[in-house]
Amino acid sequence: MNTNAQKIQADLAEVGIKVNLNPEEIQVMLEGYRSGTQGFSYMFWGPDFIDMADFLAFLPGGKVASERANWTPENADPAMLTLIDQAKVEVDQAKRIEIYGQLQKMAQQDSAFAPFNQGDVLAAWRSGIQGYIWHPVWILDVALLSEGG
């Protein structure tokens, strides 16, 4: 992440945006992020739940967008707000994919967030451990683990 952060810093400097890198432990950094007082951050983020609707948190009116980036419905594109309203209630899977695709394209052009990469999750365990099942949200359900031969 340090190398990527330095690259982002250099790229932003080319367009006149000065970024001071301030690496911190995650628990320290999260205080400024969660209070919405941090102007810029670069961190890993994974899904909170397995559905496209997880993306809504990062759009105007969503908890993350509103509380942490001040990206509220009052300062958002009305066309995006219409799609967000549709996304919240649409049940047809093909229509949902279409709506969320449009929202992603809009967010790429105008957003408080700039997704840079999504890191891989690696897992390793001893051969005697049974019951390991990878899950993209929980990572590890320890209740399923046992030691076997």
Per residue in 96-138, pLDDT (tens digit) is: 999 999 999 999 999 988 877 766 677 777 888 888 887 777 7
* Under 8 Å between Cβ of 80 and 60: yes
* Under 8 Å between Cβ of 33 and 113: no
pLDDT at 46 over 80: no
Q: Are strands 146-147 and 129-130 parallel, antiparallel or unpaired?
A: antiparallel
Which helix H or strand E contains 146, and what residues bound it? strand 146-147
Separation CA 53–CA 51 (nearest Å): 5
Q: Where is pLDDT greater, at 9 or 140?
A: 9
Select from 63, 74, 71, 103 the least CA-distant residue to 87. 103
146 forms bridges with which residues in the sheet? 130
Select from 86, 116, 112 the least CA-distant residue to 101. 86
pLDDT at 79 over 90: yes
